[in-house]
Structure 1
Amino acid sequence: MYETMVKSRYYEDTMVEAYSEGKKPVFNIGAGPVPGEMHLSTGQEPAAVGICAHLKKEDTVTAPHRPHHHAIAKGVDLKKMTAEMFGKVTGLGKGKGGHMHLFDPEVKFSCGGIIAAGIPHAVGAALAAKKKGQDWVAVAFVGEGAANAGGFHESLNLAAVWKLPLIVVVEDNSYGISVSKQDSTAVDSNEKRAAAYGIAGAHVSGNDPIEMYKVSEEAVKRARNGQGPTIIEIETYRFLGHFQGDPELYRDKDEVPNLRKIDPIIKLKELILAEGVSTEEELEVLEAIAKKEVDAAYAFARESADPKPEDALEDVFSK
């Protein structure tokens, strides 16, 4: 889990630099080697690693517009994923989807930019698993803003009726773009909504990867044993803006510096060392391995070929 969190963080830090190329001094969203919007997950790593540590290759994961930590934790091909963001032909979608549309059927991972739209897909995967008689689980990651969308409620109601192996992880990073949770949501924590569907609900406070691991273990067991869905809400923190280029005028200037003082990666490392699970030297080896993999992925993306103009006419519906 620590290695995966380090890999995810280093991946996002590297993307900050790559994405910024060519976009200064005046921000131009279409310029540089990585054009388009970019939503980074720096600080939200515990939500992904805590539950994906329990998942198999056959389990399905759907993610929202901020998907990199989920993809990395699920084992998506890092080279193809990075190439997709750079718009290269070696990408997961031949460079046509970009960072919000990453699809890797090898590990059953997908994501999309429409709020709450990944939950119905996860319900479909859970239904397929049940019909096939498999113990596969479907996990849908959403932001806390998506818990107010119709797709969230309709999906959970159906999953509860059919007792599907579905787990919905609500990542509460306090903001739906720039609107605070307290200004948009009637309940203080979305796992309380589980009672409305007669299913299990659990809350993880403090962006704690160990607690997320424990709560997720129980949820995955319930799902595999035919005991139906679970809602898990984890209190997590977005260290960066909603998107790269976000002026973040809605946040107090001291908010992010204070959040970085309780960085979950630093806290986990301190715990590992204090408990004697690993030595400083052993963790440094893991960190180096993770960073080497990320560097190789970015090098692969930069060296890959750009698509040809006529490629725009391929992989589309035609008469």
Structure 2
Amino acid sequence: MATTQRQPPKPPPVSTSAPQLVSVQADPLASPGAKVVISSRSFTSQATFDIKKCELHHLEEGPPDKAEMTREQGLQYYHSMQTMRRMELKADQLYKQKIIRGFCHLYDGQEACAMGIEGAINPTDHLITAYRAHAYTYTRGVSVKQILAELTGRKGGIAKGKGGSMHMYAPNFYGGNGIVGAQVPLGAGIALACQYQGNNQVCVTLYGDGAANQGQIFEAFNMAALWKLPCIFVCENNKYGMGTSVERASASTDYYKRGDYVPGIRVDGMDVLCVREATKFAADHCRAGKGPILMELQTYRYHGHSMSDPGVSYRTREEIQEVRSKSDPISMLKERMLSNNMASPEEFKEIDVEIRKHIDEAALFATSDPEPPLGELCNHIFANDVPIDVRGVNPWTILKSSS
């Protein structure tokens, strides 16, 4: 795995921050110095919202059906989710221009999952996911510039341009994994480390509905339950796995019950507040020493499975448009804030303009930054100072048998 000495921006603050009304808000995930200007108009500083009740498995009580949100949190959530959306749309554009090559799995439509989870855990908690990882790389503190540069294979990328879309890493973020479902036992292992170190941290381990039938996932459930590991298993059910609907791929589509003896929650994954409250509940469950818990986030992706999938051969354009018009996570948050006098339309327009500018600047860097030099091709494969008689450690040494 390639490493980087560059320190990414701090991840978003946890959702337990005290409610307040400020005159100027800086998004910790935005470009340096970027600010959201707040008008002098008087706004509601905090509101309580009804959220969809979660379905439960082996739990007597679940997350609340109401959620509080401050104006500051709402603006931060909107800014971060809109940045994820614009970043993915820019990646789509760069791929179609053949500037991004290879694998590229986009996340637009699922932003409430990433933001809701990040809004409920601490930066010191751990997260591992599959190859649809750009948004989580961002919420874990990596700049858009580094993400897009990684996608274009430039040395300014988070993995120095060597990992691409499927291999992104950051502090307490372990990818971005290309093997379907393989990140789940890895996540259980990270949770085992948390338990062993006694640091009261949890590991959020994400996988998709397409990976939910992998045998290694059930093995990870078993070990996590036996050892009561602080692991939140999250199935992002976006309705289709590699072009196949969940009904055609799974005898049971109740993914939150798949852990059997592991308690589960089914969550509205299009509502950032619903995801946040469910993740808070799950994290408290793990930190209390009760063992693992499984969350199924019912969400939706607007693009196809990958860039080679047009996304309309197994579903209709009308279906996609209906989700966009009725359940879009960014639009839902915006409407909530507007209807409760927590922001003005002008503020959202200003945020949108700032984000577009930020994404364009990041894309310019990602297309102008040089590629990593050929001499660094074999760096970061092995540890430093390994004995030279280990075959293949030094690519420039004549190979010899050590037998």
Q: Return the TM-score normalized by structure 1.
A: 0.90
Query: Which among 251, 255, 258 is matched to residue 322 of structure 2?
Result: 258
Deviation at 1:292, TM superposition (A): 4.0
Compute the displacement of 1:103 (Å).
1.2
The amino acid of 1:255's aligned partner reads: E
Mapped to 2, the partners of 1:313 and 1:188 lie a distance apart of 44
Is the partner of 2:291 in helix, strand or coil?
Answer: coil
Divergent runs of 4+, >6 A: none
2: CA distance between counterparts of 1:126 and 1:100?
A: 22
Is 1:12 the equivalent of 2:88? yes
Look up the equivalent residue of 1:142 and give its one-letter code. Answer: Y
**Correspondence for 1:112 among 162, 177, 199:** 177
Q: Which amino acid aligns with 1:60?
A: H
SS at structure 2 position matched to 1:212: helix
Q: What displacement does 1:107 show?
A: 4.2
Secondary structure of 1:256's counterpart equals helix
- The higher radius of gyration belongs to 2
Following the alignment from structure 2 to structure 1, what is the Cα–Cα distance between the partners of residues 91 and 280?
A: 31
Q: Is the 8 A contact 1:75 1:107 kept in 2?
A: no
After superposition, residues 20-39 of structure 1 pair within 5 angstroms as 20-21=96-97, 32-39=98-105
Q: Which has the higher helix share?
A: 1
Partner residue of 2:279? 216
Alignment of structure 1 residues 36-185 onto 2, 5 Å: 36-104=102-170, 106-185=171-250
1:274 to 312, 319, 339: 339
Identical columns (%):
34
Counterpart among 253, 256, 261 of residue 188 in structure 1:
253
Counterpart AA for 1:216: T
For 2:276, the aligned partner's letter is Y
Contact 2:108 2:303 in 1 (8 A): yes
Matches of 1:290 and 1:253, distance apart in 2 = 27
CA contact (8 A) 2:110 2:269 kept: no
Instruction: Give the stretch that moved more between structures: 71-80 or 39-48.
Output: 71-80
How far apart, CA to CA, are the structure 2 residues paired with 1:118 and 1:58?
Answer: 19
Q: Pairwise CA RMSD of aligned residues? A: 1.8
Could you list the per-position Cα deviations for residues 66-90 of structure 1 after superposition, in whole angstroms to 9, with x for gaps in the alignment? 1112222222233222211111112
- 1:112 alignment partner, SS class: coil
2:377 corresponds, among 293, 312, 318, to 312
> Aligned-pair distance for 1:12?
0.7
| Counterpart code for 1:114 | I
Pick closer, same or farther for the CA change 1:253–1:291 going to 2, 3 Å: closer
Unaligned 5+ segments in structure 1 are: 22-31
Aligned equivalent of 2:295, options 209, 229, 232: 232
Write the deviation string for residues 16-61 of structure 1: whole angstroms up to 9, x where unpaired.
Answer: 111111xxxxxxxxxx221112111110111111111122221111
Distance 1:294 1:59 in 2: 28
Does the residue aligned with 2:212 lie in a helix, a strand or coil?
A: helix
**Among candidates 363, 368, 390, match of residue 303 of structure 1:** 368
Q: By how many angstroms is 1:238 displaced? A: 1.1
Query: Cα offset for 1:206?
Result: 6.3
SS of residue paired to 2:294: strand
SS at match of 2:377: helix
Unaligned runs of 5+ in 2: 1-76, 383-391, 394-403
AA at the equivalent of 1:235:
Q
Count of matched residue positions in the alignment of Structure 1 and Structure 2: 306
Letter in 1 for 2:152: F
Return the alpha-carbon distance in structure 2 between the equivalents of residues 253 and 292 of structure 1. Answer: 30
Whole-angstrom distance in 1 between the partners of 2:246 and 2:115: 24
- 1:246 paired residue number: 309
Match of 2:47 in 1: none
Cα deviation for residue 287 of structure 1 reads 3.3
1:182: how far off?
A: 0.5
